Amino acid sequence: MSGENEPIQKPTDTIVRLENVIKTYHLGTTDVPVLKGINITVKKGEFAGIMGTSGSGKSTLLNLLGLLDVPTEGKYFLIDKEVSRLSDNALAELRNSCIGFIFQSFNLFPHLTVQQNIEVPLVYAGIHKHQRNRISEELSEKVKLSHRLKHRPTELSGGECQRVAIARALSNSPSFLLADEPTGNLDEKRSDEIMELFKNLHKDKNTTILMVTHNPELKVYCDRVIYLKDGRVVGEEESREK
Mean pLDDT of 162-173: 94
How crowded is residue 39: how many other Cβ atoms within 10 Å of its Cβ?
12
Contact 18, 48 (CB under 8 A): no
36-61 per-position pLDDT tens digit: 999 999 999 999 999 998 889 999 99
Note the pLDDT tens digit of each residue in 6-42.
444 455 689 999 999 999 999 888 999 999 999 999 9
Q: What is the mean pLDDT of residues 211-232?
A: 93
11 contacts: CB under 8 Å, gap ≥ 6: 80
Distance CA 210, CA 45 (A): 10
Walk me through the domains of the chain, giving residue ranges and CATH numbers. Answer: 44-72+86-238 (3.40.50.300)
Map 50-93 to HEC letters. Answer: EECCCCCCHHHHHHHHCCCCCCCEEEEEECCEECCCCCHHHHHH
| Per-residue pLDDT at 88 exceeds 50 | yes
pLDDT value at 241 more than 90: no
Q: For 65-83, what is the mean pLDDT?
A: 94
pLDDT over 60 (residue 184): yes
Residue 21 CA to residue 174 CA, distance in Å, equals 23
Residue from 161, 164, 172 nearest 115 by CA: 164
